Amino acid sequence: MSETPSTPPDPRAELVGRLTIAVRRQVAWTVLHNQAIADRVGMGVTDLHCVNLLDLEGPMTAGRLADLLGLTTGAVTGVLDRLESGGVLRREADPSDRRRVIARLVPEGMERVRAAYREVAAGAGEMYARYDAAQLRLLADHVERSAEMTRRLTTAMRAGSQRPVGAEGSPLSVPLGGVSAGRLEVSATAARMRISADAAMAELYRAAFQRRPPRIQVKGGTVSIGYPRVWHGGVGRGEVVLNAAIPWALDLRGGASEVDLEIPGLRLTELTLTGGASRVDVNLPRPSGTVPLRIRGGASRVTVRRPLAVPVRVRVTGGLTRLSLDAQRIGSVGGGAVLDSAGYETAADRYELVVEGGASRITVTGVGG
């Protein structure tokens, strides 16, 4: 009985397998090496990723950085705060839209980061010396194509995890129509939510949610988002985009946790946080007139950022354990206390923040130009 001849090995398949394993090993060691560099220069690894993106892609807005890093704008603001304090970058007003802030690296502050990467450059120079020009062109083509493939896969993976799902009968967008003013009401507990604005959209609002969706009702210009039970972090992450061509009042009721209000382009008429709030980050637009901000029923770790030149009054009616207003740091504030930033009394456009019912760790600060 004759034996079936064995299939000869495919040299190309073996090489592809070898290359795939080598790339995985390189990625693993690159991640660990970046962590070691971050430790050396005294940064978190996410901060270092941010620096590398700005170094490679050039100055960009916090929103763009949030998209590239896959972080909330509140988290990215924290990254930029740390890097700015460390002298690595500075924030500048966007010349095309002064409501937006652009992050730009500071050459002097980048020196320690570049010094940490000099060993990599020296090692790469020695390694590349063994290849001729044709081989280097092949290597450059491979690395460029690999980077682009990884970027596409990462973008697609993030888009897939933030798919637009909604409760039965709940619209994820509606046309703007003849609506001249909007109101967003978020009832019950909202967690891991981002609210932003877009002046170019044709809809009144757009929404996208992950897994367990809320119930959305729209009546005129009022958009009501309700959660029948606690929306745990990681269960119902979502984003709501509001049409910035019309003014909006925002009302978050029943508690809010890990919520980013990234609304520097919105015409805000009022903002209310009711029923407790925790880890809420607010990036405000320039106001028109005196715009009221209210925190009711207790709050913890709420950060309110406003344009630098816009004055604000903070009125405390229920007690506050820690308040930061620009350079002022106060450990405990009793009911009836009023604090003004410079120029409040004479300003036509300003914010008035009223804190009711007790709160802790409220920070109000100015950003940008």
- Nearest-angstrom CA–CA distance, 326 and 278: 20
**233 pLDDT more than 50:** no
How deeply is 332 buried, as exposed, middle or buried, from its count of CB atoms within 10 A (0-12, 13-18, 19+)?
Answer: exposed
Which residue, 209, 227, 252, sits at the end of a domain?
Answer: 252
3-state secondary structure of 324: strand
- Domain assignment of residue 300, yes or no: yes
Q: Are residues 48 and 102 in the same domain?
A: yes
Res. 187 pLDDT band, cuts 50 70 90 = confident
Same domain, 36 and 122: yes
Cβ atoms of 241 and 209 closer than 8 Å? no
User: Do 297 and 233 fall within a single domain?
Assistant: no
Evaluate whether residue 2 is within a structural domain. no
Same structural domain, 219 and 313: no
Phi, psi of 96 (to 5 degrees): -85, -15
CB neighbours of residue 101 within 10 Å: 23
| Torsion sign over Cα 191, 67, 200, 81 | positive
Q: Within this chain, do residues 117 and 174 fall inside the same structural domain, yes or no?
A: no
Residue 211 lies in a domain: yes
Nearest to 298 by CA among 284, 327, 278, 270: 278
**Which amino acid is located at 193 in the chain?**
M
Asked whether residue 332 is assigned to any structural domain, the reply reads: yes
Average pLDDT, the chain: 84
Q: Identify whether 154 is part of a domain.
A: no
Nearest to 120 by CA among 36, 48, 18, 57: 36
Average pLDDT for residues 8-35, to the nearest whole number?
86
pLDDT in tens, 246-277: 999 999 887 667 788 999 889 999 999 887 77
Whether 32 and 78 map to the same domain: the answer is: yes
The total domain count for the chain is 3
Residues 6+ apart with CB under 8 A from 149: none
Domain residues for the domain of 335 are 286-369
Q: Are 100 and 21 contained in the same domain?
A: yes
Is residue 234 very low, low, confident or very high in pLDDT (cuts 50, 70, 90)?
very low
Q: What pLDDT band is residue 159 in, cutting at 50, 70 and 90?
A: low
| pLDDT tens per residue across span 104-146 | 999 998 998 999 888 888 998 999 999 999 999 999 998 888 8
The answer as to whether 359 is a domain residue is: yes
110 with 36, same domain: the answer is: yes
Q: Between the CA of residue 307 and those of 132, 172, 300, 310, 362, what are the distances in Å? A: 54, 31, 22, 6, 17
Q: Is residue 281 part of a domain?
A: no
29 and 110 both lie in a single domain = yes
Per DSSP bridges, beta strands 238-243 and 203-209 are antiparallel
Query: To which H or E segment does residue 78 belong?
Result: helix 73-85
- Are both 15 and 119 inside the same structural domain? yes
Domain-located, residue 139: no
For helices 45-57 and 73-85, give the axis angle rounded to 10 degrees.
90
List, in order, residues 6 or more apart from 164 with CB less than 8 Å away.
172, 207, 208, 209
Which tokens hold the place of 354?
A: 């009223």
Give yes or no for residue 299 having a pLDDT over 90.
no
| Whether 118 and 182 share a structural domain | no
Query: CATH no. for residue 89?
Result: 1.10.10.10
DSSP 8-state class, residue 244: T
168 pLDDT band (50/70/90 cuts)?
low
pLDDT at 232 over 50: no
* pTM to 2 decimal places: 0.60
Which of 252, 274, 297 is the C-terminal boundary of a domain? Answer: 252
Shared domain check, 112 and 44: yes
